[in-house]
Amino acid sequence: MRSLADLMTEKEGFSALVMGNHALARAMAEAGTAVATSYPGSPTPEIAEALLAPAGKDQPVHFEFAVNEKVALEIAAGAALNGHPSAVFFKSVGLNVAADSLIQLPLMELPGGMVIILGDDPGANSSQNEQDNRWFARMAYLPVFEPASPAETHAMYKEAAALARARRAPVFLRLTTHVCHARETVQFGPLPASARDWTPRFDAKAGPYVPIAATVFPLKKRALEKLDAWAAYGETSPLNTVYKAAAPGAKKLGAIAAGLPALCLLEAVRSAGAPVDVLKLGLSYPLPEQLLADFLAAHDEVYVFEELDRVTEGELKALAYDRGLACRLHARRGHAELMGEMTPERARACLAGPWPELFPGAAPRKAAEPAPRLPQMCPGCGHRSAFHAIKKALPPGAITVGDIGCHSLGFMPPYDMGEVLFSMGHSVSTASGLALHNDARKVVAFVGDSTFFHAAMPGVVNAASRDSDITLVLLDNGTTAMTGHQPRPGNGEIGDRIALPEMLKNLGVKFLRECDAYDQPKLAAHLKEAMEHKGFAIVIARHPCMLKFMRDRRRANPGLKPQHVAVDQAKCARHYTCAADFACPSFIRHADGSVTVNTELCIGDGSCIQTCPAQAIGREK
């Protein structure tokens, strides 16, 4: 089995069982991509993991993390303007952050070409919504490639990168969570033989590159003409494929889908032996109208099969109406069908709507559903210690505003911290709005250190300049913890260290306190003092991410055995503060009422010791 470093540096072609994200990283190297950028966000971080793997060797792709998605996109766009093939990748909602510059890119000539890789998240596995980024493509005049598997991801990236460079344009490569994380044996090609050419090729005459006033209209006209050229390419592209049914039926039936839903559709059709032809779109936008019109004309009924929003459905209905086609179009109905990830079982249920005789009800599942379980912060997490102390210090009726990060889990019981959440970095600004003319209820906001650099600084500047009457708890764990411990600016892994207290003072913050998040009495005292302060106040609650801390320790000391905590049964008064209020998952509450410690989970940090009213928790002897 090859290491990730070998995956990225092997000169000759080979085959390997890999996940979609790793196949994509290898495709970047094979395609001659010069620059790749990102802000980490699930389901895409493993792309960066592979790109960074050849540490100490010649990295085939220059890669860097940026402070947020907008910056990442702009760095990649700058490289493409200079003639260097580039790529940027981020999660679904990351596109919202990058949208300001993204919308302008199709107006520009990008000599290097640029692939914008989206990790969309049907099912909201790791996102605050299920947004369908195919809408952005329509707004921005961007073509969309939609692979359905790791092998297709590898092939489509190379095709998209080559076409983007030839057409001097940006393109979308839209992945979804299960395409990113699926595994498949992929046949890889060789790496480019020649060394990368860093000659700058920016030419202002190829523009204009300043879309203002009258210059906008010729640029938009060119973008629309390029979109027409993409549609013409889709008419004959092998990425758009028809899969014929094994045998015809009484009616000529068909279905149209793209990406992973197309595979679910094919599996449902084939397992049922149904006489349904399937048109699988690899280039899903702009639509190849003639190919689709011919498919519709050849069938009596066609199911338009999509995941999430009804995007293609409306366009196909308009096409059928404009062409006077008599084909009857079926599609999903009801709100439930517009939510969640697609599966073969769901595909079968959808097709059973119009064609029940072809898709009879599936056999009931025999396996019992797993018991529901709330997501948990890791054992030893500094956020748990902070929330435990802060909850006790908050006055009745206090309003708490959360943000994106590990601490987002604080809104669930027993902490109930962060009753509002919109987007990364929103907490300071939203809290400022909640505090306007509000003398009755204290407003406390939370933000993590990575999110502070990503998007919260403008809100902090605004709150400081207006001296908004809010308290901000800045939870500093020293890394981008939620997405896999990617480096954040200022922690010394990228560039110089940036001391947060000095930076905050330079941004105009006048009231500032800081302490270790494990020091619960001190943190509670700081919070009370901050809330008594009239105006903007910040409390930094600092503690390293213990998951990363323990992994680093174990790498340095393979035989490390942490000294666990234990419950003294003679002292235990069964208040259950440890299990119910502090809620560390290491504590087990048994049927007889006793509490013990799961040593497989306990890391021995001891942050729980101070929480027991009976002082029954101590170090294991």
The pLDDT tens digits for 214-224 are: 889 999 999 99
The model's confidence at residue 561, banded by pLDDT at 50, 70 and 90, is confident
Q: With a cut of 90, say whether residue 461 has pLDDT above it.
A: yes
Question: Shortest CA distance to 291 belongs to which of 233, 245, 244?
Answer: 233
Looking at residue 362, its pLDDT comes to 66
Exposure b/e, 200-213, CB count within 10 A at least 16 = b: eeeeeeeeeeebee
pLDDT digits (tens, 9 = 90+) for 160-194: 999 999 999 999 999 999 999 999 999 999 999 88
pLDDT digits (tens, 9 = 90+) for 118-134: 999 988 888 888 899 99
Looking at residue 364, its pLDDT comes to 65
Q: With a cut of 90, say whether residue 34 has pLDDT above it.
A: yes
In this prediction, residues 444-461 reach a mean pLDDT of: 94
Looking at residue 1, its pLDDT comes to 67
Looking at residue 552, its pLDDT comes to 86
Looking at residue 105, its pLDDT comes to 96
Helix axes 382-393, 520-532, angle to 10 degrees: 50
pLDDT digits (tens, 9 = 90+) for 327-365: 999 999 889 888 989 999 999 999 999 999 999 876 666
Q: Write out the two tokens for 295.
A: 């498919």
Q: Of 108-122, 163-177, 477-491, 504-518, which gets the smallest average pLDDT? A: 477-491
Looking at residue 368, its pLDDT comes to 78
Looking at residue 282, its pLDDT comes to 96
Beta strands in 477-558 (DSSP E): 511-516, 537-542
Q: With a cut of 90, say whether residue 37 has pLDDT above it.
A: yes
Whole-model pTM?
0.90
The C-alpha R_g of the chain, in whole angstroms, comes to 27
The sign of the CA dihedral 283, 284, 285, 291 is positive
CB count within 10 Å of CB 559 equals: 5
In this prediction, residues 279-292 reach a mean pLDDT of: 97
DSSP string spanning 179-199?
A: HHH-EEEEEE-PPPSSPP---
Q: With a cut of 70, say whether residue 303 has pLDDT above it.
A: yes
Contact, 611 vs 578, CB < 8 A? yes
Mean pLDDT over the full length of the chain = 93
Looking at residue 369, its pLDDT comes to 78
Question: Shortest CA distance to 299 belongs to which of 260, 242, 220?
Answer: 242
Higher pLDDT, 288 or 493: 288
Q: Of 73-87, 371-385, 561-575, which gets the smallest average pLDDT? A: 371-385
Q: With a cut of 90, say whether residue 246 has pLDDT above it.
A: no
Higher pLDDT, 607 or 491: 607
Looking at residue 434, its pLDDT comes to 96
Looking at residue 126, its pLDDT comes to 82
Q: With a cut of 80, say whether residue 492 has pLDDT above it.
A: no
The model's confidence at residue 73, banded by pLDDT at 50, 70 and 90, is very high
Can you tell me the distance from the alpha carbon of 442 to that of 395, in angstroms, rounded to the nearest whole number?
8
Q: With a cut of 90, say whether residue 391 has pLDDT above it.
A: yes
Q: Which domains does the chain have, with CATH numbers?
A: 4-236 (3.40.50.970), 241-352 (3.40.50.920), 382-550 (3.40.50.970), 561-619 (3.30.70.20)
Looking at residue 573, its pLDDT comes to 94
pLDDT digits (tens, 9 = 90+) for 418-428: 999 999 999 99
Q: With a cut of 90, say whether residue 98 has pLDDT above it.
A: yes
Question: Shortest CA distance to 391 belongs to which of 528, 296, 510?
Answer: 528
Which segment, 241-250, 531-540, 611-620, is predicted with the most confidence on average? 531-540
Cβ partners under 8 Å of residue 556, min gap 6: none
Q: What percent of the chain has pLDDT over 90?
A: 80
Locus of tokens 């087990």: 588
Looking at residue 428, its pLDDT comes to 96
Cα→Cα distances 302→147, 239, 612, Å: 22, 20, 64
